[in-house]
Amino acid sequence: MKRNKFWMILGSFGLVLTLSLSLLAICAEAQPAAKPAGKVTWILATNPGPAANSWSFHPYPRFQKLLELRSGGRITIDTKVGLFPPNEVIHAVIAGRADVGWERTPWLSGTFPLWDVCLPFLWDSIYEYEGFVNDPRMMEIEKKTYGEKGLVKIADIAVESLDGIFAKKPLATVADFKGMKIRTAGLFPTLALQKMGASTLSIPTAEILEALQRGTVDAIQTSRGWGLGFGLPDVCTHISYWKAQSMFSGMLIVNKAKFDGLPADLQKIVLDTGREMQGQAIYGAAVDHMQSDVGVKVSRLKVTQPDAAEINKARELTRPVIDMWLERAGPHGKQVLAVAADYAGGAKIMLKK
C-alpha cells in the first residue's frame, strides 16, 4: 500500500512537471524574439537643398536605407530635416544632440578651415577631388583632426564646382570683374573674387532675385544647377564659368562617442556604408553637373567659357588665397596641400612654392 502511494505521488509530480514545462514552452513561443545585440536608432540631422549632395539624405534617403540594409536592421536612422540651421549641424553632432549629420563644409571654413579644400581654381574635376579624399594620407589626417573634435567623418558628399557667374553680361576676362558687385557664399571664394577685382556682397538667399532686379548686385556666384533651379535665368542673360570655388564638399559625420560605443562589426558597417555612399554620390554629382548644361541650353542663357590663358591669369591673382588658407588651417595645412598636389589639375600654379 505504501509502495502504491509512493508511485502515485511520483506520478502526480511528473504530471505537474510535464505541464509546467509545457506551459513554459508555450510562454516562450509567445514572447517576441530578442532584439539583435547592439541595435540602435540614430538621429540624423540634415537640411533641404537643391543639389545632389543634399538629395542623398532628403527627400531621397539613400544613405539611411543603405545603412539599415547593410546592418540587417541593427542600425536605423530617424531623419530630422531642419532640426538645426545648416551651419550648426556639426556643433549639434559634436554635442550629441544629433548622432549623425550632413554639413556643407565650405560654410564652416571660417571655423574649420583645414577641412575646406575647395580652394579657387585648384580642382578641375570632382574625380580629382575624389582621389584626394581617398588618399590614405588624407584619410589619416582627417581621422586625427575630426577625432580631436569628437567626430568621425564617414563620407565626403561633394558636388562639382560652384563655377557659375550668373549676370546680365558676359565675363570673358579677368578684367571684366573689375567693379562688378557679386554675391558670394563662403570665405575663400569671396577672397578669390576680391583678388580678381570684384566687389563681393553677402545677401540672404531669399533676397537674391530682388537684389539682381534692383541692381543691388550685378551677378551671383553659385553652381549651375542651383542657379537654374532657383530661377536665376529669369533675371539674368549670361552665365560665365569661373572656378572661384573649384569644388563644393559636404561632410557626413558621426558623434565619436556614439560610434565608439558600437560593436566592432557595426563600426565596420558604418565606415563601409559611408565609403559606398561617397562613391555613389560623387558619381551622381558628376552626372548632375554635366546634365546642368542641358538646363543651361533650355534656359537660353548665353554661355561664356573663358580661355585657358584667362583662367591661368585668375589662378595667379588668387594664389594669395592659398597662403591665407595656410595661415588659418593649422599644423596639418602643408601636409594637406602636399596630398592635393598629387591630384589637382590646378596644382602647378596654385600650389607652387
Q: DSSP strand E in 74-162: where? A: 75-81, 100-104, 151-156
The structure's pTM equals 0.86
Kindly list the domain boundaries of the chain, sorted by start residue.
40-160+248-291, 164-246+301-350
Question: Could you list the mean pLDDT of each consecutive 10-residue stretch along the chain, which spans 353 residues?
Answer: 40 40 41 56 91 83 95 97 95 98 93 96 96 98 98 95 94 97 92 97 88 93 90 95 95 98 97 96 88 90 97 96 96 98 95 78
Contacts of 152 (CB under 8 A, 6+ apart): 143, 146, 253, 254, 255, 256, 259
Pairing of strands 199-201, 238-241: unpaired
The CATH classification number of 164-246+301-350 equals: 3.40.190.170
- Please determine whether the domains at 40-160+248-291 and 164-246+301-350 fall in the same fold group of CATH: yes
Report which DSSP code applies to 74: S
Would you give the distance in Å from CA 204 to the centre of its chain?
A: 21
Distance from C-alpha of 90 to C-alpha of 256, rounded to nearest angstrom: 12
Task: Give phi and psi for 254, each to the nearest 5.
Answer: -125, 140
CATH class of 40-160+248-291: alpha beta
SS3 182: strand
Predicted pLDDT of residue 18:
41
Query: Are the C-beta atoms of 253 and 100 separated by less than 8 Å?
Result: yes
